[in-house]
Amino acid sequence: MKKIKLIHEVRAVKSKKELANIVKAQKISEKVLRDVLIFLKTGISEVEVANFIKKSFIKYGAPILAFSPIVSFSKNTANIHHEPTIQTKLKKGDIIMFDFGCTVNHYCSDMTRTYFWGEPTKKQQKVYLDVLKAQELTFKKLKTGERRAWIIDKTARTFLNKKYGKKNFQHGLGHGVGTVIHEWPNFKPKSTDILPVGCVMTVEPGIYLKGFGGVRIEDMVLITKDGCKNLTSPSKNLKDVILSVK
């Protein structure tokens, strides 16, 4: 008997046109990220940076955001859904986290990058490199053809849990992206979802240590017949995320 596909399963598989909209939205986000990194300076507030991000999307012709930008400095990076404040100002030694995206013809983009304002401490470097390693392990698993969402989530989660305990990675590894920012399927420990070829997923491992800060690295990937294709290009290499203080 032929299985009837549910609407969320049909929506998950992107046509060439739908994918082109997501890719275009991501390219605009990457332009905004480039501009934000130039705009940063010591003493600037999270709110000022968030407002700059919003204005930049308007400048590039994408005024409708996928969600409200997350901008967090220092210990605020340990808050997964932090809302920018005027009180928190950038200072040397801070971790910086950006999570934002826009829409093109109703299709969303989603990206997170973590930076360091000046030379990071050994602990900051370690957390960053471990989160990056968790993401790389996920990509390797996807490239083997694994499509069971819980197995893919487990790949990153097991690695990070061994190093930081279970309570410091408190969200799913990723989610589908389309006309809404969170759509089926989902990378979660108990997910029964099977990834279809043609869906766009985020891969976003993170570690959040209260009183210290957090690191999240998020890319969007297209699930292909042979593995996956990364749609996110800004560098994640440690040397490239260490910013010069100005």
| Residue 77, pLDDT score | 98
2 found inside a domain: no
43 found inside a domain: yes
| Residue 9, pLDDT score | 87
Q: Find out whether 181 and 103 touch, Cβ atoms under 8 Å.
A: no
1 found inside a domain: no
**207: Cβ–Cβ under 8 A, 6 or more apart, which residues?**
127, 130, 131, 160, 164, 168, 169, 214, 215
**120: Cβ–Cβ under 8 A, 6 or more apart, which residues?**
93, 95, 128, 242
126 found inside a domain: yes
pLDDT tens-digit map of 101-136: 999 999 999 999 999 999 999 999 999 999 999 999
Question: Residue 68 is part of which domain span?
Answer: 7-243
56 found inside a domain: yes
233 found inside a domain: yes
pLDDT tens-digit map of 133-187: 999 999 999 999 999 999 999 999 999 999 999 999 999 999 999 999 999 999 9
Indicate whether 195 pLDDT > 70.
Answer: yes
Rounded to two decimals, the pTM is 0.96
135 found inside a domain: yes
User: With bands split at pLDDT 50, 70 and 90, how would you rate the model's confidence at 5?
Assistant: low
Share of the chain above pLDDT 70, in %: 98
52 found inside a domain: yes
User: With bands split at pLDDT 50, 70 and 90, how would you rate the model's confidence at 6?
Assistant: confident
List the CATH number of the domain containing 127.
3.90.230.10
pLDDT tens-digit map of 72-96: 999 999 999 999 999 999 999 999 9
Structurally, how many domains does the chain consist of?
1
Strand order in the sheet with 70-73: 70-73, 95-100, 111-117, 242-243
Return d(Cα 111, Cα 135) in angstroms, integer: 13
